[in-house]
Amino acid sequence: MKVLLAAAEVFPLVKTGGLADVLGALPQALAAAGADVRIVLPGLPAILQGVEQLSTVCELGAIFGAGRVTLRLGRMAHNGVSVYVIDAPYLYQRAGNPYHNAEGQEWPDNIQRFALLGWVAAHLAAGELDPEWKPLVLHAHDWHSALACAYVASHPGPVAATVFTVHNLAYQGLFRTEDFHLLGLPSRLMVSQGLEFHGHISFMKAGLKFAQRVTTVSPSYAREIATEEFGCGLDGVIRARGGAVCGILNGVDSEVWNPAHDPHIPTPYSANSLGGKALCKAALQRELGLHVDATAPLLGVVSRLTSQKGLDLVLAALSDLMQGPGNQTVQLAVQGNGDPSLEAAFLAAVSSYPGRVAVCLRYDEALAHRVIAAADVMLVPSRFEPCGLTQLYALRYGTVPLVRRVGGLADTVVDATPQTIQAGTATGFMMGTATPSSLVQALERTLQAYRNPAVWKKLMLQGMAQNFSWHVAATHYLALYEETLKGGPGKSPLAG
């Protein structure tokens, strides 16, 4: 099984969210299951620097606004996975993250930058660019590479089977219809049954319409995006695909996220020896300027600061959260960045609750490990959540998640009720509606359990015993690839 994965980022080289973690781990899991896997990535500075043993596959010339484009092949240093890198300095050699400049504005040529990614993936899938390797399956991830599915579907010749994974439907890759000519696609695709979406070109729609199979990163999210509430205007497109849409739960890289030998945390620990977790908590309290208090429940947030993640709910409930039931002292550690108004509000909270609220407004992978290891409770009150990886990492570290009952959060956390605690199946706490009062009520239940050491330890150990391995996900993906190659269910509308 030869599989080409197409994406815009990969851990540990370029990461803005969970997509990079998936691309950092899924190829290894597929290879371990016997697949021949390669990734195609844009030649961002960190990728060109981080991929080893790069050699030229072919010169593509002047395309998509770039004067020189070269396709290179190398290997990821940490796992040996083969990687095609699209070396196009005019499009990719710049500061900022893959999608925005340092001021947070989208690059004005993003339509060409990510059309090139999809175009190269599609031509690799046709066996045109690398005569020594042709995939059977092209697996595109999120809107950045979704246009590959349209390029494949509009080509009458033999190409690979196509699978498209939605990591977050809210980010759709919308561009001006006036720029359609830049894509090199047939004009018949610029209609409502094709790429047109409310007066824009939608890259996300290209994947949803033209991939043979569509997956999301959790079963619940696959059902949710077919509804008006969670479908972001594309629910009709998704419902029309019927059985071609399914959900496969993300996994956790057990080598990267393992408290027993995590190089980023001050003291290792395991389910058999939990003492190190208390030392991690004290160390983080000192690092972030919190009062060093072993008895104070430490709430952790590791997230993009956006409305989607429900962080405004945390702010709205902050006075209640800080008081806690019975005036119990509670601490909050927040790590992440995003919406400037949320950033400012969290900074203000530090002044309002000195020694009890700490905020680090930056992406820092090592700090994320330390926060997750140190916290007693991980807050993930998302309005919607395709899968969520933070709660999975928290479970691995014996940090009890408090989540909203949506998407992958609902698929991975078992709410602690008297019945599930007694049965030994509870792993966390759930809130219902996306309201501050619902969050406070869930926290009250959480802190009630925290005050009972026997119950709390039981929750910690049950969480640490969960198996969300990439081996399970890889098995499901390989089965899906096999089914897609056999032609069912659901070809893309242009696939014939």
The tens digit of pLDDT for each residue in 286-303 reads 999 999 999 999 999 999
Q: Assign 488 a pLDDT band (cuts: 50, 70, 90).
A: low
pLDDT at residue 323, as a whole number = 75
Residue 133 predicted with pLDDT over 90? yes
Phi and psi, residue 494, nearest 5°: -100, 0
Lowest mean pLDDT among 220-234, 317-331, 359-373: 317-331
pLDDT, tens digit (0-9, with 9 covering 90-100), for 229-242: 999 999 999 999 99
Q: Indicate if 453 and 481 belong to the same structural domain.
A: no
Q: What are the DSSP calls for 38-104, one per residue?
A: EEEEE--HHHHHHEEEEEEEEEEEEETTEEEEEEEEEEETTT--EEEEEE-HHHH-SSS-SSB-TTS
Task: Provide the residue type at 260 as one letter.
Answer: A
Residue 267: inside a domain:
no
**Please, what is the average pLDDT of the chain?**
94
Q: Are residues 237 and 173 in the same domain?
A: yes
Looking at the domain assignment, is residue 123 inside a domain? yes
Same domain, 196 and 343: no
The tens digit of pLDDT for each residue in 246-289 reads: 999 999 998 899 999 999 999 999 999 999 999 999 999 999 99
Q: Does a structural domain hold residue 442?
A: yes
Q: What is the pTM of this model?
A: 0.90
Do 166 and 309 share a domain, yes or no?
no
pLDDT score for 321 = 82
Per the domain annotation, does 259 fall within a domain? no
Tens-digit pLDDT profile for residues 208-230 = 999 999 999 999 999 999 999 99
- Residues near 302 by Cβ (< 8 Å), separated by ≥ 6? 335, 336, 368, 371, 372, 378, 390
Say yes or no: 40 and 176 in one domain. yes
Q: Residues 413, 476: one domain?
A: no
Do residues 149 and 242 share a domain?
A: yes
Rounded Cα–Cα distance for residues 232 and 172 (Å): 9
Residue numbers of the domain that contains 341: 275-466
Q: Could you count the other beta carbons within 10 Å of the beta carbon of residue 477?
A: 25
Count of domains forming the chain: 2
Asked whether residue 231 falls in the same domain as residue 310, the answer is no
* Phi-psi domain of 129 (left: phi exceeds 0; alpha: psi -120 through 50; beta: other): alpha
244 plus 279 within the same structural domain? no
On the question of pLDDT at 79 being above 90, the answer is: no
Q: What is the CATH number of the domain that holds 70?
A: 3.40.50.2000
pLDDT digits (tens, 9 = 90+) for 15-59: 998 899 999 999 999 999 999 999 999 999 999 999 999 999 999
Query: 494 in a domain, yes or no?
Result: no
pLDDT number for residue 328: 65
Residue 103 banded pLDDT, cuts 50, 70, 90: confident
Same domain, 69 and 186: yes
65 plus 192 within the same structural domain? yes
Q: Give the C-alpha separation, 331 to 355, whole Å.
A: 8
Has residue 264 been placed in a domain? no
Residue 258 forms part of a structural domain: no
Do 178 and 285 fall within a single domain? no
